[in-house]
């Protein structure tokens, strides 16, 4: 009906354009683990896979969170409104960065098990957490002209709000899709395996195998934990970053 405002928002997904393992955190973590291995050796009177793994676990827990993967996504959303026989449409192109993290503080002693017969250390990892998106307002682009309808109403403001809400939701959906989650989980496995294996190798246990897995590995349950914020906060955080950059 002409006297009823209708807003439709559609999101066009864009593929992951960047993905990277965060190296700096791993270097610092590895250093702590080497120290942990030496402490274990001095405290317990000699190298032992279980005590080294225990020291590594404590060092990793002290790191708190580990960034294992990062990606940038782009969302294209369009919103349209009709009223009084006129229509208005606006389009928003919004990029955003997402981090994939492992909360090492959730690693428990029972999650790290030593199989002496198989010379294998098994580590059960906490699920990946998706943090973000951190939207990039500096790179955002808005298009569209409402003509008469925009001149006599505040529809442009409503369309912009609808676009931003839809764009942030779409960025989150892209971040949690199968491909980036698989890449993030594999990056986490490799990072944790290296972090436990390096102190063991330094102590002379070259034949030890480290197996890192998630509780949902081998199942159809793709449980994911998100640390996302409401879209209003995501937009406001981006505005603050832009303001801070402008003051430098």
* Residue in this structure with the two tokens 């590995």, named with its chain if needed: 217
Phi/psi of residue 80, nearest 5 degrees: -135, 140
Q: What is the pLDDT of residue 79?
A: 82
Position 214 in a domain: yes
The confidence score (pLDDT) of residue 23 equals 45
Residue from 142, 140, 92, 127 nearest 219 by CA: 127
Inside any domain, residue 42: yes
Residue with tokens 């409402």: 146
Q: Environment class of residue 110 by beta-carbon count within 10 Å: exposed (0-12), middle (13-18) or buried (19+)?
A: exposed
- Token representation of residue 227: 């640390």
Residue 212: inside a domain, yes or no? yes
- The count of domains in the chain is 1
Place of tokens 């059960």: 124
- CA distance readout (Å), 159 to 57, 139, 152: 50, 19, 15
What pLDDT shows up at residue 187? 95
Percent of the chain scoring above 90 in pLDDT: 37
Q: What is the mean pLDDT of the chain?
A: 77
For the segment 114-154, what is each residue's pLDDT rounded down to a tens digit? Answer: 998 898 999 999 999 999 899 998 898 888 765 444 444 55
> What are the b/e assignments for 8-22, b being 16+ CB within 10 Å?
ebebeebebeeeebb
Range of the domain at 198: 8-247
Q: Kindly state whether residue 141 falls inside one of the protein's structural domains.
A: yes
pLDDT of residue 241: 72
How confident is the model at residue 62, as a pLDDT?
87
Sign, Cα dihedral of 63, 219, 173, 185: positive
Residue 215 covered by a domain = yes
Q: At 12, phi and psi to the nearest 5?
A: -105, 120
What is the DSSP code string of the chain? -TTS---EEEEEE----EEE--HHHHHHHHHHHHHHHHHHHHHHTS--HHHHHHHHHHHHHHH-EEEEEEEEEEEEEEEEEEETTEEEEEEEEEEEEEEEEEEGGG--GGGEEEETTTTEEEEEPPPPEEEEEEE-GGG-EEE---HHHHHHSSHHHHHHHHHHHHHHHHHHHHHTSHHHHHHHHHHHHHHHHHHHHHHHHHTT-TT-EEEEE-TTTTSS----EE----HHHHHHHHHHHHHHHHH-
35 — pLDDT class (breaks 50, 70, 90): low
pTM of structure: 0.72
What is the C-alpha separation between 225 and 214, in angstroms, rounded? Answer: 13
Tokens 């610092």: give the residue.
Answer: 28
Q: What is the pLDDT of residues 58-88, one digit of tens each?
A: 988 888 889 999 999 999 998 876 665 556 7
Quick check: is 1 in a domain? no
Give the integer Cα–Cα distance in Å for 98 and 73: 8
């Amino acid at each position: 009906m002409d006297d009823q405002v209708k807003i439709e928002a559609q999101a066009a997904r864009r593929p992951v354009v960047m993905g990277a393992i965060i190296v700096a955190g791993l270097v610092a973590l590895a250093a702590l683990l080497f120290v942990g291995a030496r402490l274990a050796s001095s405290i317990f009177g000699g190298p032992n896979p279980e005590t080294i793994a225990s020291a590594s676990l404590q060092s990793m827990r002290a790191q708190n969170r580990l960034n294992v993967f990062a990606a940038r996504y782009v969302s294209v959303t369009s919103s349209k409104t009709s009223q009084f026989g006129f229509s208005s449409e606006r389009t928003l192109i919004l990029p955003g960065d997402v981090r994939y993290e492992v909360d090492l503080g959730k690693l428990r002693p029972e999650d790290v098990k030593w199989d002496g017969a198989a010379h294998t250390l098994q580590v059960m990892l906490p699920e990946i957490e998706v943090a973000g998106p951190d939207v990039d307002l500096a790179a955002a682009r808005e298009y569209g002209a409402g003509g008469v309808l925009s001149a006599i109403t505040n529809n442009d403001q409503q369309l912009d709000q609808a676009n931003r809400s839809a764009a942030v939701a779409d960025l989150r959906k892209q971040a949690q899709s199968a491909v980036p989650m698989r890449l993030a989980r594999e990056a986490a496995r490799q990072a944790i395996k290296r972090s436990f294996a390096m102190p063991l190798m330094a102590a002379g246990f070259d034949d030890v195998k480290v197996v890192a897995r998630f509780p949902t590995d081998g199942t159809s349950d793709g449980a994911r934990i998100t640390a996302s914020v409401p879209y209003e906060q995501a937009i406001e955080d981006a505005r603050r970053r832009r303001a801070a950059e402008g003051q430098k």
